[in-house]
Copies of this chain bind each other. A is one copy, B any other.
Amino acid sequence: MAGKDVPVSPLAPKRQPKVPPIPGVRFATAEAGIRYKGRQDVWFALLDQGTQVAGVFTRSKCPSAPVDWCRENLSQGSARAVVVNSGNANAFTGLKGRDAVKLTAEIAAKAAGCKPEEVFIASTGVIGEPLDATKFKGVLDECAKRAADGPWIDAAKAIMTTDTFPKALTRKAKIDGKEVVIAGIAKGAGMIAPDMATMLSFVFTDAPIAAPVLQALLSKGVKGSFNAVTVDSDTSTSDTLMLFATGKAAARGVPAITEVNDIRLSGFKRALNSILLELAHLVCKDGEGARKFVEVRVTGAASARSAKRVALSIANSPLVKTALAGEDANWGRVVMAVGKAGEPADRDKLDIGFGDIVVAKQGARAPSYDEVAVSEYMKGDNIVITADLGLGRGKATVWTCDLTKAYVEINGDYRS
């Protein structure tokens, strides 16, 4: 159950940033009683007319009903409302699931004064349990009445499941010399008894950017951020990342952007990629039972694609992750993970390091290997693993956390 008796991750940021309002976005949270009692479990956002939308979703072949709904309605490019609930993922609920999504969209559309297909929906929580969407009746109406332009931290809290801290961030950027603002919230790979981890993230800007451009930016930006973090290699049926642009900054003279190659977008791109990356890192830092935040850098691979596969093989290896939990500089397990990736690799060209310390050089223990220095390094909260394959110029970086007994406890022991 969310937050109950679970200490905040030691990797949580020491303070929450102040996230400013995004012109054109208003929201409220409420207790719909979907599953939890006595906590906000619904977040309802209203978007001004003309808001453009883009999204990327789970690659699961068994996606949830809300994911199906969002994918279908994304093509029209405009959005007027977002409904997110925690407590029930409405996944693997058959025909009932589709009906629940439809009813949710109808209730939200009435409250927002828009068409159902302009409502985007995400659900997170238990799966296989029918979601009773009639619980949104009245609740969303009431939310619409008191919707305001903040605080974002409340939105971040309402979508949490077993996250131990809320995740809300902001960035500023300039388009043609004029400022635009970005705000984003995320919930992490938290588990909700008795169900699965789900990553949800919603990012908003007042920049006037057309939907196809937004989609291109998001699809590219996700590769090095949300698609480069892994907690336990498992993929939720509900993973959702959406980007909304209200266009309200046009009133301040920001030009409308309709081409992805528009040179005036460069600052915005950087800011967007930066917020996506930090949100993804926060998700990772709140991985179940995580005690260490781990960056895996692979260089010298045959290609960038090959480098990413090797990096994920290292980041997902239970033996690497348990060694990290044990603060053990077990480079042999890193070699093992490189070897099992199935990508081009040559044992005798492989260099492995922890932080700046080279532990293995060209396939054998480095002559300079200093056990004491490495052991000291492994005690830190932030660990960098480097692997140079010595073959080509392909490189990739991914992030993960360690695998602790707390992970097994959270995901296996909740019945006892």
The residues of A with any CB-CB pair to B shorter than 8 Å are: 58-63, 91-97, 126-129, 191, 194-197, 232-237, 316-319, 322-328, 330-333, 335-348, 350, 360, 362-365, 402-405, 407-409, 411-416
User: A325's contact among B97, B129, B408, by CB below 8 Å, is which?
Assistant: B408
10 A-B residue pairings within 8 Å (CB atoms): A59-B342, A62-B345, A92-B363, A92-B365, A94-B348, A94-B362, A126-B332, A403-B412, A404-B412, A408-B408
User: A237's contact among B94, B324, B336, B407, by CB below 8 Å, is which?
Assistant: B336
User: A347's contact among B61, B319, B330, B415, by CB below 8 Å, is which?
Assistant: B61
- A61: which B residues are within 8 A, CB to CB? 338-347
- A350: which B residues are within 8 A, CB to CB? 62
Q: How distant is the Cα of A79 from the Cα of B414 in the complex, in angstroms?
A: 53
- A337: which B residues are within 8 A, CB to CB? 234
Q: Is the CB of A319 within 8 A of B197?
A: yes
Give the interface SS of chain A, mostly helix, strand, loop or mixed. Answer: loop
- A344: which B residues are within 8 A, CB to CB? 61
- A343: which B residues are within 8 A, CB to CB? 61
* Chain B, Cβ-Cβ closest to A97: B364
User: A336's contact among B196, B331, B408, by CB below 8 Å, is which?
Assistant: B196
- A330: which B residues are within 8 A, CB to CB? 194-195
- A326: which B residues are within 8 A, CB to CB? 411-416
User: A408's contact among B327, B335, B405, by CB below 8 Å, is which?
Assistant: B405
Q: Is the CB of B328 within 8 A of A233?
A: no
Contact of A363 with B94 at beta-carbon distance under 8 Å, contacts A61-B344, A234-B336, A331-B128 already known: yes
- A94: which B residues are within 8 A, CB to CB? 348, 362-364
Interface-centre pick from A196, A235, A346, A412 (highest chain B CB count, 10 A): A412
- A364: which B residues are within 8 A, CB to CB? 92-97, 128
* Chain B, Cβ-Cβ closest to A231: B318
Q: How distant is the Cα of A322 from the Cα of B414 in the complex, in angstroms?
A: 10
User: A339's contact among B60, B126, B336, B409, by CB below 8 Å, is which?
Assistant: B60
Write the nearest CB–CB distance from A161 to chain B, whole angstroms: 13
- A333: which B residues are within 8 A, CB to CB? 195-196, 234
Q: How distant is the Cα of A365 from the Cα of B128 in the complex, in angstroms?
A: 6
Write the nearest CB–CB distance from A405 to chain B, whole angstroms: 5
- A318: which B residues are within 8 A, CB to CB? 232-234, 318, 403, 407, 411
Contact of A235 with B332 at beta-carbon distance under 8 Å, contacts A325-B412, A343-B61, A411-B318 already known: no
- A62: which B residues are within 8 A, CB to CB? 335-336, 338-339, 345, 347, 350
Q: Is the CB of B411 within 8 A of A319?
A: yes
Q: Is the CB of B415 within 8 A of A332?
A: no
- A336: which B residues are within 8 A, CB to CB? 60, 62, 127, 196, 234-237
* Chain B, Cβ-Cβ closest to A343: B61
Q: Beyond the given A62-B350, A405-B405, please list 13 additional residue pairs across the A-B interface where CB-CB is below 8 A.
A: A62-B345, A63-B339, A91-B332, A92-B347, A93-B364, A128-B364, A194-B323, A194-B330, A235-B340, A237-B335, A318-B407, A325-B413, A326-B414
